[in-house]
Structures are given as structure tokens and as C-alpha cells.
Amino acid sequence: MKAITINVSEPVYAAFQAFSKQQDRTTSELIREAMEEYRRTRISNSTSLELLRPQSVGRILVPLLTDDDLMEEMLHDRD
């Protein structure tokens, strides 16, 4: 593991310290976890579909029928 030095604001560090005590973990452990989450979601080139969280996009506009051609739907806009 590589040791690094970072500068963070006092309130941010205090929040990490308080939360780490509540979780019975070290502040360093939480910061490493936060950095890994950032790397995984923002830096990595490929994101696995398993890692993506479901997103609500609102109500259903047109119901999907069993005989609908989804590829056709994706390739052509409806007017």
C-alpha cells in the first residue's frame, strides 16, 4: 500500500473522523474506501452493468408489447 499526504478542509476531515468513530473504523479506511469508489465510478474506463444502480426515468409513455421490436425502437425516432 502506498502512503500519501493530502490536504483537506477541517470540516471534511472532522466529518470523516466522526463517521469513522460511529462505524468503529479508522478514518484512513473510510478515505481509502471513498477513493476506491471514486476510482471505480469515475476513472475506470469500463463500468460493469452489475455496478450500475437502477435509475427512475419517470412514467411509462408507451407500454411495451410482447411483439415489439426493441432494436427498431432504438434505431428510429417516433414522430
Q: Is residue 1 part of a domain?
A: yes
Q: What is the pLDDT of residue 74?
A: 74
Q: What is the largest CA-CA distance in the chain?
A: 59
Domain extent, residue 4, equals 1-41
Q: What is the pLDDT of residue 66?
A: 77
Q: Closest Cα partner for 31 from 16, 46, 9, 47?
A: 16
Q: Closest Cα partner for 29 from 51, 39, 6, 21?
A: 21
The total number of structural domains in the chain stands at 1
Residue 12 binned pLDDT confidence (cut-offs 50, 70, 90): very high
Model confidence pLDDT, tens digit, residues 34-79: 999 998 888 876 667 777 788 888 888 888 777 777 777 677 766 5
The pTM of the full predicted model, rounded to 2 decimals, is: 0.54
Sequence-ordered list of residues with C-beta below 8 angstroms from that of 41, at least 6 positions apart, any chain: 47, 51
Q: Is residue 27 part of a domain?
A: yes
Looking up residue 9, the CATH number of its domain turns out to be 1.10.1220
Q: What is the pLDDT of residue 21?
A: 96
Q: Is residue 9 part of a domain?
A: yes
